[in-house]
Chains A and B, each alone.
Chain A
């Protein structure tokens, strides 16, 4: 079963906030949520990550619900260059073998002029 589920596509008007949801209802207490984006089939690029607190950086904000079963990535002022596929990812830390990352199927965000 997928660790994360995302809507397949969304539109957003240029200059408005883009809110991308993700469900991760089976997440464990020590698993982190990550967001990456992929433009034109290039390698994915890191955006932000969090465990249970809300996080903000120069690119975006991450809002994680109190029960940690879902999160929302917020791009505060979407531009045309934000058109991409956005992936919600869970990082699992294994005892002796490091970290594994589980990607969702992604949300294709189209920013409309």
Chain B
């Protein structure tokens, strides 16, 4: 099993450009999360999904959109990138059957907006 994978690993955008980050998991997990991590800080929740076709806002959702069309994939979109969105983005998934709600994280995507 690959676990949680994220594509791309690195990306540089110009202000105003758009892009989509892909998170994929092969563990058949129901819940998926997108976080951002800024230097010296903990992770902050952007959006999450409790199942295919559902999404919900987290702490810092502004400027981002998400979609969960397939159970194994969770997409994070930036419609018009801003320098404030320069960050490392992490995706995580959780099994609904897990009593622990343990999150399995991907390796991260490092995004720079110039």
Contacts and interface: CB of A to CB of B under 8 A. Distances in A.
Interface of A: 32, 36, 41-46, 49, 87, 91, 97-106
A42 B42 CA distance: 13
A32 B100 CA distance: 10
B88 interface: yes
Interface in B58-114: 58-59, 88, 90, 92, 94, 100-108
A99 B45 CA distance: 11
Interface of B: 4, 31, 33, 35, 40-45, 48, 50, 56, 58-59, 88, 90, 92, 94, 100-108
Nearest to B92: A43
Where chain A touches its partner, the secondary structure class is strand
Contacts of A32: 101
A46 B103 contact: yes
Contacts of B56: 97-98
A3 B19 CA distance: 32
Nearest to B107: A43
Contacts of B104: 46
B107 A97 contact: no
